[in-house]
Amino acid sequence: MNLVIGDNIKLDIRKQGINGEGIGYYNRTLVFVPGAINKEKIYCEIVEVSRNFAIGKIVEHIRVSKKRVTPLCKYYEDCGGCHMQHIDYKEQLKIKQSIIKQALKKYTTINVDELDIFKTKGMEYFYKYRNKSQMPFKNTNFGLALGFYKPESNHFVFVDECINHHDMINKINKLTLRLLRKYKLSANDAENTSGNLLFLVTRYLEKTNSASVTFVVTKYKESLKKVAAELMKEEPAIKSVSFTISDKFSNLIVSNDVNIIAGQKWINEKFDDLDIKLSPNAFHQLNSKQMEVLYDLMLKTVKLTDKTIVFDLYSGIGITSILLAQHVRKVYGIDSSKASVSDARENAKANNIDNIEFITGNVEAEMPKLIKSGVKPHVVVLDPPRKGLAKPVVDAIIKSKPKQIIYISCNPSTLAKNIAEINHLYDVVSIQPIDMFPNTASVESITLLKKR
């Protein structure tokens, strides 16, 4: 490589990367430039050099893309939570379809041009879609604050209103912050290790006008009871206030049991004609409107009969299992979260569904056990975390040979790697990208695979 930090170079941007950055080539060296758009010509300064690539920052535009727009968020340049708010939304949707194609070309031997990779299903209004926020606390010169840390840095960005959060979440967060300041609670950070506040987790479900607030703390303080009481008095939508003690050895924000301070154990959600209960620490799709699109597509894509046995892996609070159970003989749902499985059982019971068995445990361990006991699936539905499927899960799929696989993915790279592992047995029938997270580089998709 002949680039060094500080170099100023002229660069043609050839495509968008998986994190929304622009990509160009300088003397065959890959150069990633955050904020750059395909077909732009720029001057950029090299800020990082690695063995196989370099990272640059825009110094000046020589040619500006017609797809460039002015971001609505006043924190966009500093926050880093969004990656593509400077790109026209229709172009964002095209980029997300392209990211899936790039991943398949990189990790599989499939002829991508012959695949049905459909256009990304976007949103009519692509802001204010998130039904949950997880924001760190920080002690600042102007008092206790909420915000985000700029990616790969310790730089805290105060954010009083996130444009991707539902309006009610922003409202509740402001109210909560005001009350915490009133009772003189402080953040636990590098400058003040005596504070107890780490994160504020807020969830709001529009259909039922229900919200939950969870404090992630180093230790519980009685003054949180007063905060909880005033929260519920001032904002009737708040039905549940809780706290959880942080596990410093875990990378999860909520890693221990949640304890109710005031209100209910659950908040309620409506999905079609289903009544759903949701605990503060259970998994739920973050975009309620696109969740409906996702589940509708799943049911239209997969072929089911009253003799079908389904494995619903990473089953969460059971919505997928319940929807499938209405069309099949039996569903086995597996999830490692005790809170999610507890909610799933309650939800099945509340909706009079009795042909589901929910299992608590890691999919890697529980799926092989289920197969060994003699249960073989006709259909496997997968909604794994970003890291994709572990080898024991892939091996169990190959061993049990289900006729159909529905793979709901939030990471095109791991989706492609997993497809490569089973491609000798399964054909990719179709891939439908769904924009669950507008303005970000996150790509959700639903893939149908059929046994050869």
| Catalytic center residues | 410
10 Å Cβ neighbour count for 263? 19
Tally helices (H) and strands (E) across the chain: 10, 21
C-alpha to C-alpha distance for 17 and 29, rounded to whole angstroms: 15
DSSP for residue 121: B
Q: Is the dihedral of CA 389, 395, 400, 404 positive or negative?
A: positive
Name, in order, each residue with C-beta under 8 angstroms of 311's C-beta and a sequence gap of 6 or more.
Answer: 331, 332, 334, 367, 370, 377, 379, 380, 381, 402
Give the β-pairing of 210-217 and 238-245.
parallel
Residue matched to tokens 């060094």: 4
CB 412 within 8 A of CB 99: yes
CB 196 within 8 A of CB 227: no
Distances (CA, A) of 176 to 53, 144, 236: 44, 11, 13
C-alpha to C-alpha distance for 180 and 409, rounded to whole angstroms: 38
Name, in order, each residue with C-beta under 8 angstroms of 83's C-beta and a sequence gap of 6 or more.
Answer: 19, 20, 21, 34, 439, 440, 441
C-alpha to C-alpha distance for 287 and 410, rounded to whole angstroms: 13
In sequence order, what DSSP letters do the residues of 21-70 get, joined into one string? Answer: -EEEEETTEEEEETT--TT-EEEEEEEEE-SSEEEEEEEEEEE--TTB--
Q: Is 13 helix (H, G, I), strand (E, B) or coil?
A: strand
C-alpha to C-alpha distance for 43 and 171, rounded to whole angstroms: 41
45: β partners: 8, 57
Nearest in space to 366 (alpha carbons), one of 415, 418, 419, 311:
311
Distances (CA, A) of 393 to 27, 191, 373, 401: 42, 44, 16, 12
